[in-house]
Amino acid sequence: MPRVAVELPIAVPPEAAWAAVVDVEAFPACMDNVDSVTITRQPDDRHRTSAWAVRLKGSVLQWTEDEVIDPVARRFDFRQVTGDLGEFAGHWAVRPAPGGHSTVSLDVTFDIGIPLLADLLNPVAADALRENAAQMLSALEHRLLTAGDPVSVPTPAHEAEEEHDRV
């Protein structure tokens, strides 16, 4: 299965980065490519299910994922339970970085679910997912560094966002 891994150093303490990462319902307010995230079930502090709608190269991908949250390790793992891709799984993580800062990462594996076209489409999908993940991390960084009212913070313009209109 193809894998996409993106990380970004952010000049905030790991606790602040972690709080922003696990607050997935706030993602649409600061990430242009995330249309919606809704926590649909949360039986306890470590487990939840969320429904996502994310724009990827001009198309909207929708899925529901089960998540396992580990606040001590500052990592949450997710796995698609229903959705547009054949398989979609991965994790978000926050690691301490020098100077009291953080490194935030998003790591995913996926299968588009169309075996006959996988060789052709997997590289295109991997590039699109990598671009999207980088945009999400940049938006998260912007939200954390502006720290006023994160809901009203505009996301910086990205060439990649303009590109989805041409695809």
pLDDT confidence of residue 159: 33
DSSP string, 97-129: EGGGEEEEEEEEEEE-S-GGGHHHHHHHHHHHH
How confident is the model at residue 147, as a pLDDT? 66
pLDDT digits (tens, 9 = 90+) for 108-157: 999 887 777 667 677 778 888 888 888 888 888 998 998 653 333 333 33
In whole angstroms, give the CA distance from residue 7 to residue 52.
Answer: 21
| Average confidence (pLDDT) over 81-93 | 95
Q: What is the mean pLDDT of residues 70-98?
A: 96
pLDDT category at 81 given cuts 50, 70, 90 is very high
> Mind listing the pLDDT tens digit for each residue in 32-68?
889 999 999 999 999 999 999 998 888 898 999 999 9
